[in-house]
Amino acid sequence: MLLSDTTIRTAKPKDKLYRLTDANGLCLEVTPAGSKLWR
C-alpha cells in the first residue's frame, strides 16, 4: 500500500504507538502524543 498525502494527514493518535507502512519499506510511526516520525 502506498501512503497517500491524505492518509498521512488524517492519521490520528491512538493509545499506543502504531505504524503505517509503505510498499517500499518506508514506515510512518504515529505516537500517542500525535507526533509522526518517518522510519
- Tell me what pLDDT residue 18 has: 98
Residues comprising the chain, all counted: 39
pLDDT digits (tens, 9 = 90+) for 1-39: 789 999 999 999 999 999 999 988 999 999 999 999 999
At residue 20, the 3 state secondary structure works out as: strand
DSSP letter for each residue of 23-39: TTS-EEEE-TTS-EEE-
Question: Rounded to two decimals, what is the model's pTM?
Answer: 0.86
- Tell me what pLDDT residue 2 has: 87
Hey, what's the cell of 34?
A: 500525535
